[in-house]
Amino acid sequence: MATAQDPALEIEELIAKINHLNYQYYQNSVSEVSDLEFDQMLKRLEELESKHPELRLPHSPTQRVGGTVTKNFETVFHKWPMLSLSNTYSEEDLREFDKRVRKIVGDEVEYVCEQKFDGVAISLTYENGKFVQGATRGDGTRGDNITANVRTIRDIPLQAHGKNYPELFEVRGEVFMPLQVFEQLNAEREETGEQLLANPRNATSGTLKQQDSSVVANRKLGCFSYSFHTENSPYETHSESLQAIQKWGFKVSDTWRKCGNIDDVMAYINEWETRRTELPIATDGVVVKVNSYALQEELGFTAKSPRWAIAYKYAAENASTKLLDIEYQVGRTGAVTPVAILQKVALAGTVVKRASVHNANEMQRLDLRLGDTVFVEKGGEIIPKITGVDFEKRPAESQPILYPTHCPACGTELVRTEGEAQFYCPNEKGCEPQILAKLEHFIARKAMNVDELGPKTLVQLYLAGYVRNAADLYDLTLEQLVPLERMGEKSASNILKSLDKSKETPFERVLFALGIRFVGSTVAKKLAEELPDLEALRGATYEELIAINEIGDRIAQSIIAYFQDPDHVQLVERLKAAGLKFKSERTAPEIQSDKLESQTFVISGVFESVSREELQQLIVSHGGKVVSSISKKLSYLVAGDKMGPSKLEKAEKLGVKMLSEDEFLAMIK
């Protein structure tokens, strides 16, 4: 960083750093520094520009709100700008805010306090009570049109209740992912060998950027509405408008409170500093607003934030404790993950004795050593993680921790794929924790749902030599099960019945149960929709796989590699012989016309008004046939956004006629 004697250079460096952090946060959902550190940088920049106005630059983050706009969705302009709030971390600053307010409008000021939920801000536009547009904040002036995704959020009414609402109005809210849903999502990502999401806010942001709205629907997002905008508002106060939108069907958190003065505000803040851990979603502070709309108008705005509101942010709760050991866990995919074993310490209402270290890169970055005093924080109030080391307390004799070169379970030399942070044990067929984790995944509720069979029984079956893979489960007999510890004839019989019942599990869940790397439940469903049986999946080419929505390069390569392994082929054949369903049983759509009779279609890309599955059903219901590959005999290629380049090139080369979404829909009208 530049010295204080060189303000021009320091301003330039701060602008570059803050703009980078804004880009990472808004475009990539990555928080590289804490909120406190970011706010301190921004405050320093504001001080320098105030002292040296001649050095203020047009691209300075003090001259704008938030980050840049993503190009994945249509850009829309906000009728009322979505400005950010000034932040404070101290009671002194909050009382100073109150003094400034009362100096302008007098002492008769009422405030409203609301929880600052850690989610993604959104604007919701309604015409005649009907939801017409959902948009992200973007840069405060314009954002992304994510209407299709917003429609899937159940907390947001598609039609306002009652009748006494304006002809045109906007409600703003915070979209969030409940902690329970976040934990389930991370569990799924762990199952498929993907990097875990750091916190619910990142997960929410990533979900809202999904091109496929069905993925958004599966994530079960929520939304708390917190403000109302319209021309000539019928309400005099913010609290009245909150009560009104709640009556119209919007979900408003019942944690808000009207406060008569700044002492009442501080009492609310102090109360919720501990109580916020009771909520089902993450919060990081309290928003304080002047209640009267007339006083808000009188107070006005600065260039970047309203003068009538401020955000009081709680410092992230952290603690220091001693690092006792590092354990290395081997997961279902063979990923070897380091876990820190800590001296017990109280943190955010729980006792923490283990913390995530993520991977070898993170251990090296932190320069962890056994016996170190480390700082532990709960990322998103859920996952304890080590954030730093107190080097002043480091033991003199400490040595750097060497990441293992061989699997801690089976001794096989670890490998590391280029571009990945994790080390893997390649011995998937002989490494005990990998085998047991695969079996546990196979019988799990979201997979085959063999509810009478648990992890402890699996271990006994493995140690007895009865089970080495999923197909072995369907060869089990009563005679093998009954002698097991804590196993009677009735329990053994129930296990066999549960295994027999699992044969009714639909194809998409069988596919998920196989445990192909990167094939989670959502991807398995997509594959089953596009490739309706085992033969189609096994024979699919790389080009055919990546043409399927949500299927990228590494998923396609993983599927192909799986079916190139003779052991995997044998396993699947044994499961098929045992009676598991390897064919989709979706019912054919009702025939509506013969307009597309004898015509063949390939569908590729992402579509705006219909899903790929709906397009497929429309084609079949009007007499057409959907195929997976492009040839000279193909009638049409229905081309959406983000279509695979190889399909486009092949279609152009063969002279296949291409239809846009609108052109296709016009054919069947």
Q: Which residue numbers are catalytic? A: 116
Please give the C-alpha separations between residue 501 and each of 59, 160, 310, in angstroms, as whole numbers: 63, 45, 58
* Pairwise CA distance, residues 365 & 361, whole Å: 6
Q: What is the DSSP letter of 54?
A: G
Taking the C-alpha atoms of residue 181 and residue 185, their distance in angstroms, rounded to an integer, is 6
Its sign, for the CA torsion 422, 427, 432, 435, is positive
| CA gap 83, 305 in Å, rounded | 5
Residue indicated by tokens 């997979």 = 447
- Helices (H) and strands (E) counted in the chain, each on its own, are 25, 21
What's phi and psi for 440, nearest 5 deg? Answer: -65, -40
* 355 contacts 340 by C-beta, under 8 angstroms: yes
Q: What is the DSSP letter of 588?
A: P
H helix intervals, 106-178: 147-150
**What is the full DSSP assignment across 14-34?**
HHHHHHHHHHHHHHH----S-
Strands in 636-639's sheet, in edge-to-edge order, are 625-626, 600-604, 636-639, 657-659
Distance CA 638, CA 442 (A): 37
> 145: which DSSP letter?
B
Cβ burial of 669 (10 Å; 0-12, 13-18, 19+) is exposed
Other C-beta atoms lying within 10 Å of the C-beta of residue 63: 13
Count of Cβ atoms closer than 10 Å to residue 477 Cβ: 10
- Give dist(CA 640, CA 45) in Å, integer: 45
Nearest partner of 107 among 297, 259, 261, 301, judged by Cα: 261
Tokens of 555: 């998923």
Q: Are 59 and 45 in contact (CB under 8 A)?
A: no
Q: What is the DSSP string of 330-347?
A: E-TT-EEEEEEEEEEEEE
Best CA proximity match to 469, nearest among 484, 480, 458, 477: 458
Using CB atoms within 10 Å of the CB of residue 162, give its burial: 0 to 12 exposed, 13 to 18 middle, 19+ buried.
Answer: exposed
Is-contact 110 258, C-beta < 8 A?
yes
- Facing residues of 347 across strands? 350
Structure token pair of residue 107 = 């002492």
Q: What's the rounded Cα separation, in Å, for the pair 151 and 213?
A: 8
Exposure string of 251-289, with b = 16+ CB inside 10 Å and e = fewer, is bbbebbbebeebeebbebbeebeeebeebebbbbbbbbb
CA angle 207, 210, 216 (to 5 degrees): 55
Q: Are 471 and 536 in contact (CB under 8 A)?
A: no
For residue 370, what are its two tokens? 């056994």
Virtual torsion, Cα 315, 317, 322, 325, nearest 10 deg: -120
The two tokens of residue 609 are: 């008004």
